[in-house]
Structure 1
Amino acid sequence: MSKVISSAIEPSVRALADRFNESGWAKELRIQALEAYDVLDLPKQDEGWRNLRLKEVPLDTLIAGVDKKQTPEQILSRIDENAAGVVVHYNSDVTEIRLDPDLQAKGVILTSLQDAVANHPDKVEKYLGKLYSFKESKFAALHYALRTGGAFLYVPKNVVIDSPIQLFTYADAPNVGVFNHTLVVAEAFSQVTVLEHSSSDLGGGTNVHSAGVEIFTNDGAKVNYIALQNFDQGTYSFNPRRAQVGRDAEVKWVGSELGGKIARSENTSYVEGDGANSEAVVVFFGSGEQSLDVSAAMIHRGRNSTSNIVAKGVMTDKAKTIWRGLGHIQQGSKGSSTFQRENSLILSETSKGDAIPGLLIEETDVAGAGHAATVGRIDEAHLFYLQSRGIPLKQAQKMIVEGFFGSILELIPLENVRKEVETLVDRKLGW
């Protein structure tokens, strides 16, 4: 007997399944997520959610989608002509797909996730939802119930993609939910860099972005995933990004979390293979009345595996930020190591930052483990010194923030990305 569903989103969920002619496992996944959404409450007790103002997230007024439109010029102008491939997710649909013909000839697949469900079901069913389950939270269930568009990237064995794959998520329609999912499968000894741009311009309105990223790297594969999140402060964003790292494989995360009214982001690697490595570099900056919850976690299951997390954050105005880092070496992960360090800088009396680093070591034979975190206010002596040399207060703050971020920005592998982050930080500082 099927369950009785009372959720207001049920008509939208069933309409999406009909629109995409879904059947079998794909439709079942959507319906199961709807049933979970119907019974799950907003997260309350979990440490990773309780500091966010979740009751103000406008779930009851969400519109599941709008009519497909052309890719806006402000996104077209940002597409790198040298990009290996491009997918644009605009509001609730994919409006642009490009792939270098030479890569297509080598078996690379780049398309919307929705098209991949229809045309490459064997590849999608094997991986979709395996790292990020609809059962995890009400937002996860919402994501899988109303998922549209998104991106699917498949890189065959031994294929090396030299130029980045660009993914754009852009919203300008208030009240429309953005539920894109990115699925990356890198076969053995393949290499790729994915550059994700997320932004919005809601003209004072609000919307909800409940997304997901799943990356699977097989033996010896290498994936760099770079995320630039700069939603306007009408967007409520929830975006877990997770990777499974195979034997001698590597996943490197770069995250820049700057936007959103409430933004919860996560970069988690399951370092499963022997000799696997994963790294995370994270920059975050809260201003206005933003609430940012930023985390990175490395879960070791393979022997002689390694991981490292580096993060820096700034907060000003009335912003509140929380950083969570975790290095977890499970029993049996002999010879593994995990390290993390995070620093936060507070620029105003009314902003707040918390750092919650953690280590969980269940194996006695480890190569090393450690963490360090600091949260402190801007040094008044430094400000006084600069001002005494004739430098105005705002410019002095800018110089200190640039110096603070300098060492971590050097870890971003693409120069154009470093410059973009620097520009966005300057805007947050009012320059």
Structure 2
Amino acid sequence: MTLQTILPVQAAQIKEWAEARSEAAWLTERRLQALELAASLELPKPEKTKLDRWDLSAYGAFKSVAKTASREELPAATKEFIEEGTHNLIVQHNSGVVYTELSEELRAKGVIFTDLETAAREHEVLVKKHLGTAVKTSEHQVSALHYAAWTGGVFLYVPKNVELEVPLQAVFLTDDASATFAPHILVVADANSRVTYVDNYVSTGLDGKVLHNGVVEVIALDGAKVQYATVHQFGKEVTDLSYRRALLSNDADIEWIVGEMNDGDTIADTATSLNGNGTHSDAKIIAIGSGTQKLNFTTRAVHFGKSSESDMFTRAVMREEAQSIINGITKIEHGATKANGQQTEKVLMLSPAARGDANPILLIDEDDVMAGHAASVGKVNPEQVYYLMSRGISKVDAERLIIYGFLAPIIAEIPLELLRTRLQRIVERKLGQ
């Protein structure tokens, strides 16, 4: 069999796309190597989900996009997500980034915030050093195809000892089903730096299926602090495959805040490798499933460093006939003494036909550690409903308050007010209120 009959992307396409956007030669070579590797790799095998039954062929084709000179010219669907007053923004529309803005203040500090394709040409040494180190090309067929076909994306570099007080933001929009949509996000926080990055993924007006095969890599060097917030709200036409990875050096810190608000089938894998001593990872995930969605969310923390700490907190609400698999995996490797790994997974089901499966997993190869987990799957507590009704609140409103209270601890952690407000509206829509 040939690559053309096995894979949804071909070598000739990659060469054509690379030439169309004057891509760096070394990057094109990496793409071709990734495509060749993809032919020999298997699909990922998320817990209790058979990806070979999913249609993962809707990669589309690369389509050139015109740069936008001002925010006023941006697609309307992106404007509602842009925080007022921000001067640090990237917008991707289908296959490419159309708008980039970075304040002079941050430029003067040495911050780099641009699309990844531009960074590969203008900051080759940095990109070469870190691209593909957190999510390996060889991880599985989906990751290899991502490295063959990604477009647009973000490169964020924060220099040593630079602490940023304002968040940087990106918006990713797909509205053309024939266009490739596979951004790659690479964040590099140098020693003792601090940064908050926020993005939104959205679709609108699609007339066919789209596969989002997205990758996020966060590299936090010694003493760096990274806060990463993301909300995915694709429509039913989009199948979302998202792999997020962070690598932490000594005393580094990552905080993940993830809102999984898609209407289509979703696989999301968020993992942190606590390589250094004194590292800390905090992952907060909320998800709402509706209709006939199939959802699989995995959150992982792998401890290598001494005195490393990880917290994972996932809350999911399933309604109608949605089915979800929620996996929490804490792995403490031999030698990671004084490590502490904690996790909690909670699923609330609002319909007899909804399904939720919470799987807490502890893998401990060291004695001198602490680890714990908690998991629950259930319906709205009737005693709580009765209590609120006894205070004059209707049953519908009582259930709504309980659900919002269930999700509120994570929504409150979103670092942008506009995003918090928008997420609340999405929650209301998803719950049919």
Structures share fold, TM-score greater than 0.5: yes
Aligned to 1:172: 175
Aligned to 1:5: 3
* Aligned-residue offset at 1:344: 0.8
Are residues 212 and 299 of structure 1, via their aligned partners in 2, closer, same or farther at CA, if it must alter by over 3 Å? Answer: same
* CA displacement, residues 72-105 of structure 1 (integer Å, 9 cap, x when unaligned): 0231343224335111111111001000111111
Correspondence for 2:319 among 304, 312, 316: 316
Alignment of 1:165-244 (within 5 A): 165-203=168-206, 205-244=208-247
What letter matches 1:280 in structure 2? A
* Aligned-residue offset at 1:261: 1.2
Work out the CA distance in 1 between the residues paired with 2:8 and 2:286.
Answer: 37
Q: Are 1:402 and 2:404 matched, yes or no?
A: yes
Q: Which runs of 5+ in 1 are unaligned?
A: none
Aligned to 2:425: 423
Answer yes or no: is the 8 Å Cα contact 2:291–2:322 preserved in 1. Answer: yes
Aligned to 1:376: 378
* CA displacement, residues 8-37 of structure 1 (integer Å, 9 cap, x when unaligned): 521321212222334553122101121123
Aligned to 1:136: 139
Answer yes or no: is the 8 Å Cα contact 1:64–1:146 preserved in 2. Answer: no
Q: Are 1:145 and 2:143 matched, yes or no?
A: no
Work out the CA distance in 2 between the residues paired with 1:302 and 1:264.
Answer: 28
Work out the CA distance in 1 between the residues paired with 2:170 and 2:404.
Answer: 27
Work out the CA distance in 2 between the residues paired with 1:389 and 1:81.
Answer: 39
Aligned to 2:281: 278
Aligned to 1:97: 100
Answer yes or no: is the 8 Å Cα contact 2:60–2:210 preserved in 1. Answer: no
Work out the CA distance in 2 between the residues paired with 1:204 and 1:15.
Answer: 25
Are residues 388 and 13 of structure 1, via their aligned partners in 2, closer, same or farther at CA, if it must alter by over 3 Å? Answer: same
Are residues 8 and 171 of structure 1, via their aligned partners in 2, closer, same or farther at CA, if it must alter by over 3 Å? Answer: closer
Work out the CA distance in 2 between the residues paired with 1:23 and 1:417.
Answer: 35
Q: CA RMSD in A?
A: 2.1
Work out the CA distance in 2 between the residues paired with 1:201 and 1:57.
Answer: 20
* Aligned-residue offset at 1:49: 5.5
Correspondence for 2:55 among 57, 62, 86: 57
What letter matches 1:14 in structure 2? K
Q: Are 1:261 and 2:261 matched, yes or no?
A: no
Normalised by the length of structure 1, the TM-score is 0.92
Bigger RCO (CA 8 Å, 6+ sep)? 2
Work out the CA distance in 2 between the residues paired with 1:396 and 1:205.
Answer: 39
What letter matches 1:304 in structure 2? S
Secondary structure, aligned partner of 1:211:
strand
* CA displacement, residues 129-153 of structure 1 (integer Å, 9 cap, x when unaligned): 1111222222212211111110000
Are residues 356 and 49 of structure 1, via their aligned partners in 2, closer, same or farther at CA, if it must alter by over 3 Å? Answer: closer
* Aligned-residue offset at 1:398: 1.4
Are residues 136 and 53 of structure 1, via their aligned partners in 2, closer, same or farther at CA, if it must alter by over 3 Å? Answer: closer
Are residues 62 and 376 of structure 1, via their aligned partners in 2, closer, same or farther at CA, if it must alter by over 3 Å? Answer: same
* CA displacement, residues 194-221 of structure 1 (integer Å, 9 cap, x when unaligned): 0011111134532110010001111111
> Mean Cα displacement is larger for which, 222-231 or 83-92?
83-92
What letter matches 1:337 in structure 2? N
Answer yes or no: is the 8 Å Cα contact 2:17–2:62 preserved in 1. Answer: no
Secondary structure, aligned partner of 2:64:
coil
Work out the CA distance in 2 between the residues paired with 1:353 and 1:231.
Answer: 21
Work out the CA distance in 1 between the residues paired with 2:258 and 2:334.
Answer: 29
Answer yes or no: is the 8 Å Cα contact 1:13–1:34 preserved in 2. Answer: no
Q: How many residues align?
A: 424
Normalised by the length of structure 2, the TM-score is 0.92
* CA displacement, residues 293-344 of structure 1 (integer Å, 9 cap, x when unaligned): 1121111111111111111110001111111111111111111111011111
Aligned to 1:305: 308
Are residues 274 and 159 of structure 1, via their aligned partners in 2, closer, same or farther at CA, if it must alter by over 3 Å? Answer: same
* Aligned-residue offset at 1:416: 3.7
* Aligned-residue offset at 1:4: 6.0
Aligned to 1:28: 29
Answer yes or no: is the 8 Å Cα contact 1:342–1:373 preserved in 2. Answer: yes
Q: Which runs of 5+ in 2 are unaligned?
A: 69-73
Correspondence for 2:159 among 135, 156, 161: 156
Answer yes or no: is the 8 Å Cα contact 2:24–2:120 preserved in 1. Answer: no
Answer yes or no: is the 8 Å Cα contact 1:34–1:142 preserved in 2. Answer: yes
Identity %: 34
Are residues 132 and 58 of structure 1, via their aligned partners in 2, closer, same or farther at CA, if it must alter by over 3 Å? Answer: closer
What letter matches 1:67 in structure 2? S
Are residues 192 and 25 of structure 1, via their aligned partners in 2, closer, same or farther at CA, if it must alter by over 3 Å? Answer: same
Work out the CA distance in 1 between the residues paired with 2:173 and 2:181.
Answer: 9
